[in-house]
Structure 1
C-alpha cells in the first residue's frame, strides 16, 4: 500500500488522495531531520576534538621549556649549586646544562644492535657492561652520564627505541687547574667532594640535596677571597720554578696580613677539576694545607720573635757562636759559620743554628712550646678548606727537641700555618685565622688574638728587611716594594735519617716591609742545583720565585712602589 502511494505521488497520479500525499511528505522530512542531527553531532564532536588538541598545544606552548625539552635553555635552568666567584666577580665555578643517556631494557628488542649503534657515537662506551645492562630485566639503566649536545643529536638521529635522555647539570671550571686546590671539585652527581665546593655543601646545600629538595630560583653566587689575577701569577711562577729547578713539587700562598684572607694559593702538581681523574694521586696533594713539613730555617723567625718578646733578649744581645753545640749525641753547627760572637741581627742574617738554639735556651723548653702553640703552629688549623693536616711535635719536649725545633727540625706544620704565624710577626702581633672568604679588617679584629707586642713585631720587620738587604734573601728583592724575608733550607728524612742531598726549601716574605700588607710564602720540594751551581738552597730557588711573584702581582694588589733611600719617589728631568 505504501509503495503504491509512493508511486502515485511521484507519478503525478490524479487519483492520489491529499491525505496520502501528506503522509509521505511527513516521513521524508523525519528522515532528513535525523540525518541533519547526525551531521551536527559529528561536527560538534570534531570541533571538540580539535578544540581539545588546540587547547593542549596552547598549554604546552605556555609551559616553561624545562617541562617540554630534553635540554632547557641555560637562562631557564635552575641552578643546583651556586656559582663560585673570586673577589672581583670572576667566575671560578658554574653549572652548565647537559644530558645523560639511559635505557629501558624492557623496551629493547635487540641489545646487540643497540650497543652497536651507540658505540658508533660513544667510542669510549664499555661494550660488555652496556650489553649486560640492556639484556637485564630492569626497567631503567644509566648508560652514560653528561653527554655533549653533539652526542645527543647523533643518538637521536638513529631513532633507537628504549633509549632516552635526562636533563642534568654539570659543574664547569672556566680556569681549569688555575685554582683547583682551593675551589675543589664535585662528583658525577654534582656533589662537592673537595675544596670550597665541599665547604659550600657543608653549609646546608648538601642536606637539601640529600632530602631531595630543590629551589625555584637561582642561588646567590658564593664569593671567595681569591684574586684570580694573582692566583694565575702565583701558579705560573710556581710552574716555572718547578721546571727550572727540577723539583718534585712547588707551592705558595699570598696572604693579607690584616684580614687573614687568602688572596692566592697554589700547589703543584695540581689537576683539572673539569676532569678530576688525577685528583687522588699522591703527588696531587695540596701541600699548603694538607701536607705537614719541617719548615727549616723559616722557623728561626719565630724563635727570634719568641726571644725578643720574652724580654730576656734584645736586639743588642750577643751569643757565642764560635763552637758547635753537642747535645744528646748530636752536633749542631752552622752551614756557613762565622765562628765568632754574633748579635741578634747577625744571627738572623747569617741564619746561625748555634745562635738561634742559644736564644731558645734562654726562654726555656716550656716557654718555647707555649710560644709556638700561641702562634697556632702546633694545632690543627681552622679554615674553610676541609683538607687540613694536623701538625706533629714530640710527645715530650726535651732540651734536644727545643734546640732542633728552634731552627725548624722536629716539628712539622702546614705551610699555610707558617704564613699565618708570620703575618702575626708583621701586623703588630695579631694572630688572625686564615679564610678563603672575604673578610674586612673590622671583622678580622673581632676574631684576632694578640700573641706578641707591637715592639716585637717592629723588630721582626727590621730583621726581615735586613735579611733581604744583606743576608740569604737577596734574590727576593723587588725594587720599589721593600721586601723582607727569611730563607729555610730543611734536610728531608730519607730512610729514617736526615739527608743533606734531599731538601725542602722555603722562603717566607712580607711586603712592603715598612707597612706590611701581604705575606708571600713559596716552597720548593727537592730542587736540584742549577747548572754550574754546587748547592740548591732556598736563597737560590725559593727566594727568586717569591721575587717574581711580588714583581708581577704587587701592582694588581694595589701596592704602590716607593723609591729612594727614605721611600720617596725620585723625580728626574730629561
Structure 2
C-alpha cells in the first residue's frame, strides 16, 4: 500500500517560496484521507446490509414455500419422537417354490388416545363402541376421564375403521402407522407359516416378529435388512397344498376322525411339497394357546411334527428291509408265523387272531403278520435293530425347519429287551411323528439313502448317508407294491399311477396308561410311482370310524387308504407326473405278424 505523506516536501518548499502557509497543505491532505476512509467504511457497511438482506429474502421464500406446501397437503397427526433405538419395520415376504406369495406385509394403523387433549371423552367412548363393539366401555370411560395421559385402544385397524374414528372429530384420538403381517391365502399352510405379532412397539412404529412356524424359525433372516428384502422361498407348492388340504378335510369328515395330518415329500431332495394338520387356524387371526385340557385338541397343535404316535404296522417294512440288507433272508424266505408265540411272558398275536402259517417274507408284509415280523426282528437282534432305527432318525426330533418340530421328541423304551425288539418291529412301543415316518420311507424309496426333510426349496438331490443297500431298498419297494395289489391297502390303487405302501392301525394309548379299545391311529405310508418312486405320502387319521358293509370299520385299510388314494389322484398331475395308461384291446381286430 502506498501512503501519501501529509506534508509532501516539494509542495511545502513551493508554498514557502510563494509565501503561503504550509499547514494548509497538511490539513487538506488529512481531510482527503478521512474522506477516503469514510467512503471505504460506507461501502463495506452497504455490502454487509446487502448480504443480510439476501439472507432474509431467502429465509422468507423458504418459509413461504413451506407454508404453501403445508396448506395444500392433507392434515396429518403430529408424532413426538423420543430418543432411543430405531424400530425395524421391514420384514421379507415368504413365497412358495414357484414364487407365489404366502406371507407379505400390509400398511395399516394403530389407534391410541391422549385423554388430556380430548374434547368430549363420553361422546368419544360412545362413538368408539359403535365402531369397535368388542371394547370394554366401562374401562375405556375410566381411562379417558382419569389421570392417564396415554391409552392404547387398538393395535391394528382397517382403513374403514380409521375413517370412522376420524369422522368422530375428537383431537385426542390419534393414529400411528403400522406394518402388519398378511397371509393372503388364509388357512392354507397355517401350521407351516405359524404367524407373527408385534414385538417392540412405539407410537410411530412397531416391529413384527415371528411367533410360530417358519415365521419364528427364520425370524432373523426375515428381519435382516442385509438380505435386501429377498423373500424366503419354501419347498411348498401352493396348488398341491390346497388340493391336499381339501382332500384331507373331506376325508377327515367322511371318516369321522377328530384330527388328521399328511406329509408329501420328495424322496430325492427331502423337500416337503405339502404338509397338512387338521384342525387348523387362520394365521391372520391366530388363536391363543389353550391353558388347560389336551394340547393336541388345539388347532395350533401341529400333528405332523408335534404329534408322536405309535404308527403300527407301517414299521414292519423297516424290519423286513433290514433283514434283507443283513443277508438273513430274502423276499421269498419262508417264515413260520403260526402261534402260539410268547416273548418275555407276553403273547404275540395277530389281527383278529388270524393264523397265516408258513409264508414268505414278502407275504409277511402283504398280510401284515405281527408274529412273522417279530421273528424277523429276533433274528436281527435288539442292538442292530436299535442302530438301524437310529440311522433313520427315529430317536431325535425331526430336523424339519419349524420351531414346533423341536417338541416332537420320539418316545422309546429305556430298556430295549427282546419284548421291545418284537413289539417295535411292528410299530408298538415306539412313538414317532408322521414326519419321522416320511423320512424313513424316503430312504427306501430313493434306494437306501437317509434324507432329511426340509421346508426350504433345494437346488437338487440332497442324499445323506447310505443306511441300506440298493438291493434291500428295491426288495422293500416290491413288497410295498404287493400290499396295494393284493394286501391290506387294496383301496390304495390309483388308475394311471403305480402306488406302493403299507397300512398301520395302532390302538390309541390312554393318558394314564393302557390302551383304548375303540380308538385308533390309522396310517397309510405310500410311495408313488412305485416302479420309480419320486414322492412319499404319509396320511394319518386320529380316531377314525366308518360304517361299511354294515360293520363299523376303524382300520387303516378302510379309512386312511382311500383318503390317501384320492389325494394321490389329485396331486400327482399337479406334480407333473403323467399317468400310465395301459393300451386297450381294439374290438374285432386281431394283430398278426408276417
TM-score class, shorter:
0.7 to 0.9
Query: Which residue in 1 is equivalent to 2:30?
Result: none
Query: Which residue in 1 is equivalent to 2:572?
Result: 554
Separation in structure 2 between the aligned mates of residue 62 and residue 216 of structure 1, nearest angstrom: 38
Q: 1:440: Cα distance to partner?
A: 2.4
Trace 1:272-291 onto structure 2 (pairs within 5 A). Answer: 272-277=282-287, 280=290, 282-283=296-297, 284=299, 285-291=301-307
Trace 1:175-254 onto structure 2 (pairs within 5 A). Answer: 175-189=185-199, 190-203=208-221, 205=223, 215=225, 219-254=229-264
> How does the TM-score come out when normalised to structure 1?
0.83
Structure 1 residue 490 and structure 2 residue 497: aligned? no
Query: Which residue in 2 is equivalent to 1:107?
Result: 117
Aligned equivalent of 1:527, options 527, 533, 544: 544
Separation in structure 2 between the aligned mates of residue 514 and residue 570 of structure 1, nearest angstrom: 21
Aligned equivalent of 1:363, options 355, 377, 380: 380
SS of match in other structure, 1:387: helix
Q: 1:563 to 1:541 in 2, by over 3 A?
A: same
Structure 1 residue 431 and structure 2 residue 445: aligned? no
Separation in structure 2 between the aligned mates of residue 69 and residue 354 of structure 1, nearest angstrom: 78
Q: 1:139: Cα distance to partner?
A: 3.4
Separation in structure 2 between the aligned mates of residue 92 and residue 61 of structure 1, nearest angstrom: 42
Query: Which residue in 2 is equivalent to 1:420?
Result: 439
Trace 1:250-329 onto structure 2 (pairs within 5 A). Answer: 250-277=260-287, 280=290, 282-283=296-297, 284=299, 285-329=301-345
Query: Which residue in 2 is equivalent to 1:472?
Result: 488
Query: Which residue in 2 is equivalent to 1:458?
Result: 474
Structure 2 gaps of 5+ residues are 1-53, 80-87, 200-207, 590-594
Aligned equivalent of 1:441, options 442, 460, 476: 460
Query: Which residue in 1 is equivalent to 2:33?
Result: none
Deviations 1:484-529 (A, max 9, x none): 0000000111352223311100000000011100001100110113
SS of match in other structure, 2:519: strand
Once the two structures are overlaid, the 10-residue window that deviates more, 555-564 or 526-535, is 526-535
SS of match in other structure, 1:274: helix
Give the conservation status (yes or no) of the 8 Å contact 1:79–1:219.
Answer: no
Separation in structure 1 between the aligned mates of residue 339 and residue 455 of structure 2, nearest angstrom: 46
Q: 1:175: Cα distance to partner?
A: 1.3
Q: 1:348 to 1:82 in 2, by over 3 A?
A: same
Q: 1:231 to 1:113 in 2, by over 3 A?
A: same
Separation in structure 2 between the aligned mates of residue 68 and residue 89 of structure 1, nearest angstrom: 38
SS of match in other structure, 2:283: coil
Q: 1:167 to 1:292 in 2, by over 3 A?
A: same
Give the conservation status (yes or no) of the 8 Å contact 2:257–2:544.
Answer: yes
Give the conservation status (yes or no) of the 8 Å contact 1:319–1:343.
Answer: yes
Q: 1:559: Cα distance to partner?
A: 0.9
Q: 1:82 to 1:458 in 2, by over 3 A?
A: same
Query: Which residue in 1 is equivalent to 2:35?
Result: none
Q: Looking at CA atoms only, which structure, 1 or 2, has the larger radius of gyration?
A: 2
Structure 1 residue 538 and structure 2 residue 559: aligned? no
Give the conservation status (yes or no) of the 8 Å contact 1:510–1:520.
Answer: yes
Trace 1:37-48 onto structure 2 (pairs within 5 A). Answer: none
Separation in structure 2 between the aligned mates of residue 296 and residue 130 of structure 1, nearest angstrom: 56
Aligned-pair RMSD on alpha carbons?
A: 2.8
Structure 1 residue 501 and structure 2 residue 511: aligned? no
Q: 1:383: Cα distance to partner?
A: 2.2
Q: 1:221: Cα distance to partner?
A: 1.4
Give the conservation status (yes or no) of the 8 Å contact 2:221–2:227.
Answer: no
Q: 1:58 to 1:551 in 2, by over 3 A?
A: farther
